[in-house]
Amino acid sequence: MSSVVILGAGVIGLQTAVSLLEAGYNVTIIAKHFPGDESIEYTSPWAGAIWRTHATPDQEEQCRWDLESYKSWIGVLENDRGLAEEMGIQVSLQFILFKELLVLGIPHSPNPSSPSLWFSSHVQNFSVILPTDLPPGCLSGVAYDSIAINPSKYLFFLLSKASRLGLQVIKADLPTSAGLSGAISSTLSLIETKASSPDGSNAFPIVINCTGLGAKSLCPADSSNLYPIRGQTLLVRIHPCPPPNILRIIMHEDPSIAPAVTYIIPRPGTNEFVLGGTKKPNDWSPEPDAETCERIIARCRSIWPDMADVEIEISSMQVGLRPGRKGGVRVGVEEIDVGVREGVMGKVKVVHQYGHAGAGYQNSIGSARKVVDLVRGIVE
């Protein structure tokens, strides 16, 4: 079976490793950062990590990816609670609250047939929130069963599962000065690849580029399309902790405050919450600032009445850089020339898979399945 090398060990890289291993391929991951590392360069641990589609109806592929992840996780939660706990996932009622009317056809109420609510028939327990149940400043809202994810547990779960399936891991900081060709040359040296046939067919492993924002250095032709979307959040404990029957994901949609966003997410398996946040494009700043944190807390108190008078204990202030890309996610095949190696002209097939912005977790399963199909097409 053909060998595959994945560059990057975020949620996209790890899920792709699992999917390829399950399809029978030999897989190696090479990455500078792995689960347990804390770095501004490693985005996945800092994610809010919930299922909330960002896709629009015309983005059919990403809609499909989102639904594949939703159905997969719901299936685990319904059939194997122990596995769900190991993965760090749980069903959580999600409220999406709108400052304005989402659809004008129904007074103070969104219409589930609206294109922006294309997912309403695909998720469990979708409903329109009654006007009497809306907090001040909100004119409409919807609710449905979403999925909250503990990023740390989920990343370790994927790495553990891939390792049981035979994953090989190399921790290394690949050079970027010579672009993707140079990084692949270093990759081939690390894995000590040999040509597998005299004519050079299948001589080199297929490379999957899951480097997120790292692709900005590796792929100069696409560099201008790649940009960070800075997210600042708080991990907090609430005293007294709200009773389980009212715990939910709450998101407040208010375009007027952009790039600020407002959300409250219970973190599965803990007594902590993620409060957010920001979505600031082209901001590389790695350090959180106190003023933004204060504004986050104030906004969260305003949209959840149960938080109005509670004590909020800050466990940590966090910053992550979502890997944004103009034009959306790039998943496709490119041939890279890395020169003559082992007497064979080094033509390496690369499958790019980056630019998932803030949708990495919910895109991951469907996106990885597309990569498996592309790899299968290369091999066959």
Across 89-93, 181-185, 196-200, the highest mean pLDDT is recorded for 89-93
Per-residue pLDDT, 110:
65
**Tens digit of each residue's pLDDT (9 = 90 or more) over 297-344:** 999 998 887 777 899 999 999 999 999 999 999 999 999 988 765 555
22-81 pLDDT, tens digit per residue, is 999 999 999 999 999 999 999 999 999 999 999 999 999 999 999 999 999 999 999 999
- How large is the average pLDDT for residues 108-136? 84
Phi-psi domain of 88 (left: phi exceeds 0; alpha: psi -120 through 50; beta: other): left
pLDDT above 60: residue 193: no
Which range, of 77-91, 171-185, 352-366, averages the lowest pLDDT? 171-185
pLDDT tops 50 at residue 190 = yes
- Here the tokens at position 378 are 């290369």
For the cut 80, the answer to whether the pLDDT of residue 245 exceeds it is: no
Burial 82-114 (b: 16+ CB within 10 A, else e): eebebbbbbbbbbbbbbbeebbeeeebbbbbee
Please determine, for residue 5, whether its predicted confidence score (pLDDT) is greater than 50.
yes
CB 248 within 8 A of CB 135: no
CA dihedral 111, 112, 114, 116 (to 10 degrees): 120
248-271 burial code (b ≥16 CB/10 A, e <16): bbbbbbbeeeeebbbbbbbbbbee
Pick the CATH number of 3-47+153-225+327-379 from 3.30.300.30, 3.40.50.1980, 3.40.50.1100, 3.40.50.720: 3.40.50.720
State the pairing for strand pair 226-239/26-31: unpaired
pLDDT band at 345 (very low <50, low <70, confident <90, very high): low
Q: In CATH terms, is domain 90-148+226-325 a member of 3.10.129.10? A: no
Q: How many Cβ atoms are within 10 Å of 272's Cβ, its own excluded?
A: 20
Distance, in Å, from the CA atom of 157 to the CA atom of 118, rounded to the nearest integer, reads: 31
Strand partners, 144: 94
Q: Are 364 and 158 in contact (CB under 8 A)?
A: no
The pLDDT, as a whole number, for residue 342 is: 58
Q: Distance (Å, rounded) from C-alpha 47 to C-alpha 50? A: 9
Q: Please report the pLDDT score of residue 1 as a whole number.
A: 63
Alpha carbons 90 and 74: distance in angstroms, whole number: 9
Choose between 248 and 32: higher pLDDT: 32
Which pLDDT belongs to residue 104?
Answer: 39
**Which residue would you say has higher pLDDT here, 247 or 81?**
81
Are the C-beta atoms of residues 374 and 219 closer than 8 Å to each other? no
Cα 304 from Cα 119, distance rounded (Å):
25
Contacts (Cβ under 8 Å, ≥6 apart) of 46:
151, 231, 233, 318, 319, 320
* Residue 170 pLDDT exceeds 90: yes
Per-residue model confidence (pLDDT) at position 116:
80
Q: What percent of the chain has pLDDT over 90?
A: 75
- What are the φ and ψ backbone dihedral angles of 57, each rounded to 5 degrees? -55, -30
Residue boundaries of the structural domains of the chain: 3-47+153-225+327-379, 90-148+226-325
The whole-angstrom separation of Cα 88 and Cα 152 is: 8
How do residues 194-229 score in pLDDT, each as one tens digit? Answer: 444 444 444 689 999 999 999 999 999 999 999 999
Positive or negative, the CA dihedral 110, 116, 118, 119 is negative
pLDDT at 180 over 70: yes
Q: What is the mean pLDDT of residues 79-97?
A: 96
